[in-house]
Structure 1
Amino acid sequence: MEILKRPLVTEKMTALNEAGKYAFEVDKKANKVEIKKTIEKLYGVTVEKVCTNRTQGKLKVKMTKAGMVSGRKASIKKAIVTLKAGETIDFYNGI
């Protein structure tokens, strides 16, 4: 099971980076302890706090010739990680 799927790089999350908070999309079955260990091992930083939330996928509806077609985007689990003061994660390293 791969715990970290991808980092979430949005305007809101980039603003939180200055406060030492980083967001990741994680596996739905991962818990806070597993997320903390993975981030510390992968990026070599000290994690102080992990907050998780599950977001339900948005409902999408479109009109076609055959009528209305409805569906739902995939649900995801996010983890917002707070690092020890003075530590950072550089997502753009090596680009």
Structure 2
Amino acid sequence: MQIFEVLRRPLITEKSARLQDNGVYVFEVAEGSTKPQIKAAVQAAFKVEVTAVNVVRVKGKMKRMGRGYHMTPDWKKAMVTLKPGDKIELFEGV
């Protein structure tokens, strides 16, 4: 897997915004990615030093669509802890 295929998108939620104050950033990552691949991808993309990577597999849910139901896909998220003093600017100019 290529280094830039690992990171899908940053997850911007209220909880992840609170975690950013402690140097923890949350990303949606590719299903087959491993912790070392995620660490290398974040370090290459944002030029920061990663100290820890925690991974969670999020199960899909049943959702209603008209008269029927369908299952949303499973996905994987990673919580990346940076070295104190490092920062990722997810929003330019904010």
TM-score, normalised on structure 2? Answer: 0.90
Equivalent of 1:32, from 8, 17, 35? 35
Partner AA of 1:22 in structure 2: Y
Q: 1:53 corresponds to which residue?
A: 56
Looking at CA atoms only, which structure, 1 or 2, has the larger radius of gyration? 1
Structure 2's unaligned 5+ residue stretches are none
C-alpha displacement of 1:29: 0.2
**Residue in 2 aligned with 1:12?**
15
Pairwise CA RMSD:
1.5
The correspondence of residues 55-94 of structure 1 with structure 2, limited to 5 A, is 55-62=58-65, 64=67, 69-93=68-92
Structure 2 Cα separation of the partners of residues 34 and 71 of structure 1: 32
Q: When the two structures are aligned, how many residues end up with a matched partner?
A: 91
The percentage of counterpart residues that share the same residue type is: 38
Deviations 1:32-68 (CA, angstroms, capped at 9, x unpaired)? 000000100100000000000101111113553xxxx
Instruction: Indicate which of 41, 45, 68 corresponds to 1:42.
Output: 45
Q: Structure 1 unaligned segments of length 5 or more: list them.
A: none
Q: Which runs of 4+ in 1 moved over 4 A?
A: none
